Structure 1
């Protein structure tokens, strides 16, 4: 998973997107699958999605904790909370949902 949530102070948006595409190509070449991109909804929409490569990216995990029914952009995973209670865990954890079937999820796993 590529976690990208902030702009760098030393490069512009085009340079950032170019570096991300390079990293994704290296990971895809090594593992044989495209990595999942994790990002906040606004960052993905405003910084990455203007590039057609990211507009159609196949595996996206979006964080949006703003009490919405779902993110307003295309997503595979949605992190809807960072304060989700789980029995047996003393601290609050991230709450996530996958948009797909069990079979779809298992297809993402590397054998």
Structure 2
């Protein structure tokens, strides 16, 4: 196994790609020299200690193309999420391949749904459940991705909260495990001010900082997973992937 510094240097390359979970359309990959901000981001990651209790992971979608999950596993990645669905009808074109190959590589796998206000929470929950079918012991809890791209047009805040809570409640009831909420600080502090959301573990996205800030709703609970860079490359995959770290021992998040 590589030590932590070697791992971080091996995963960061001079490339940039739109965050994969924000769109279902393809985005071109541009080869760029690292900016000053990206250089600082790399330095921040290199100086951030990884405690023994923490685990390293990645999240992917069709943007990454074919992934060699055995190589991913060999690079000390112990958990991974793949995009499953978006809205009421979309299924990520690489979901089924990633889902089966993650299991074969003995990586703790999880699936996420990108929420859209274009359809109700009930319909989206059923779409997600019908796609992933079931979850098993040792896997990661399902994730609901809530961010700026989720809001289409205008929607009353209380209605948005009811629809999101409907998704969370239905998925928990049907799959038997409480989902995780993925979001970022700007979105959470504008759209997720509701104490009921704090009942769900938080996966926070924040890049280029030494420590992630916690949104107001989760201020007393903190985050469980931190997506700390959206630009990185490791052996075994083609496109850039998001890199994640847990705040607790991995087994405490895995489905029992």
Bin of the TM-score, shorter chain as denominator length: 0.7 to 0.9
1:72 aligns with 2:213: yes
- Aligned residues: CA RMSD: 1.7
Give 2:203's aligned residue: 61
Q: Is the Cα–Cα contact under 8 Å of residues 181 and 200 in structure 2 kept in the other structure?
A: no
Structure 1 portions without partners, runs of 5+: none
Give 2:189's aligned residue: 45
Deviation at 1:47, TM superposition (A): 1.5
Q: Is the Cα–Cα contact under 8 Å of residues 226 and 246 in structure 2 kept in the other structure?
A: yes
| Separation in structure 1 between the aligned mates of residue 236 and residue 178 of structure 2, nearest angstrom | 34
Paired residues, what number? 105
| Separation in structure 2 between the aligned mates of residue 37 and residue 2 of structure 1, nearest angstrom | 5
Deviations 1:67-107 (A, max 9, x none): 1122211211111111112123232211111111132133x
Give 1:95's aligned residue: 243
Equivalent in 233, 238, 241 of residue 85 of structure 1: 233
Relative to the length of structure 1, the TM-score reads 0.82
Bigger Rg, structure 1 or 2:
2
Structure 2 portions without partners, runs of 5+: 1-142, 215-221
| Separation in structure 2 between the aligned mates of residue 57 and residue 68 of structure 1, nearest angstrom | 26
Relative to the length of structure 2, the TM-score reads 0.38
Give 1:26's aligned residue: 170
